[in-house]
Amino acid sequence: MERKTRIPTQKRALEKYDRILEAAYKLFNEKGYYNTTTADISNEANVATGSVYAYFEDKKEIYLKVIERINKSFDYPSHDYWLENADKEFDNAEVVKPLFKVFIKMMLDYHDCSKTFHDEMEALTLLDKDVAALRKEYDEQRKDKIKEIFKALSIPFNSEEEERLFYHYSFFITDDVCHKIKFDDEIKDIDLCIEKCVNMLYCLFKDCTNYIKVT
């Protein structure tokens, strides 16, 4: 007979569910997915192993829910900050570069995991079709959120193609820089690394808009 898991609805059940996911994320970061067992997760969460299996089919489902939770953590930076700058003229670096810096720091907050977790997630994306499908879905959602962030600022692109190129390359440039800052031990000056990324985005922005004056 197939075992059925349940979705928590009561406060105590929700708290236990959250503790399980928090414990799993902690252990996946410290020990890695393969070196973590369901028993490890239940011990870390201070719940019975049976409670884990009441909500999750297996360790893989826990992992997928952890990825889901990480994706939900990706949100807008200070909403007020962006609204305050939404009506500014994008005619100089003093206006644009601080916005890009806020954006990069938002992306850094999203990359709040260990190198172990990151590397195993990349490997599992190649090895497991469910992880791959979920990562693809959430990457697309994250790209859409980035578009929304910049669309709110009414950036004056000259064409849809220039707009598409900016969103595409800004995503990959920033993602790569965040990986280097978070996971590359050779990066010593984080502020300098962020500043270089800001300059790259600024140059890309100038190329895609032909609007900003050289300052």
Residue 207 pLDDT > 90? no
Mean pLDDT, rounded, for 58-65: 96
Mean pLDDT, rounded, for 105-130: 91
Domain with CATH 1.10.10.60 in the chain: 11-66
**205: Cβ–Cβ under 8 A, 6 or more apart, which residues?**
96, 100, 155, 166, 212
Q: How is domain 73-209 classified at the CATH fold level?
A: Tetracycline Repressor; domain 2 (1.10.357)
pLDDT of res. 152: 65
Closest CA to 100 of 198, 213, 205: 198
Residue 120 pLDDT > 90? yes
Task: Give the residue with greater pLDDT, 90 vs 50.
Answer: 50
Backbone torsions φ then ψ of 143, nearest 5 degrees? -65, -40
pLDDT of res. 47: 94
Q: How far apart are CA 79 and CA 84, in angstroms?
A: 9
Domain with CATH 1.10.357 in the chain: 73-209
Q: What is the mean pLDDT of the chain?
A: 83
Superfamily, domain 11-66? Homeodomain-like (1.10.10.60)
Structure-token pair, residue 196: 């270089």
Structure-token pair, residue 82: 């962006």
Residue 213 pLDDT > 50? no
pTM of the predicted structure, to 2 decimals: 0.81
pLDDT band at 78 (very low <50, low <70, confident <90, very high): very low
pLDDT of res. 87: 57
148-175 residue pLDDT tens = 777 766 677 778 888 888 888 888 898 8
pLDDT of res. 80: 54
Mean pLDDT, rounded, for 164-191: 87
Backbone torsions φ then ψ of 159, nearest 5 degrees? -160, 165
* % the chain with pLDDT above 70: 84
Residue 211 pLDDT > 50? yes
Site of tokens 């690394």: 193
Residue 212 pLDDT > 90? no
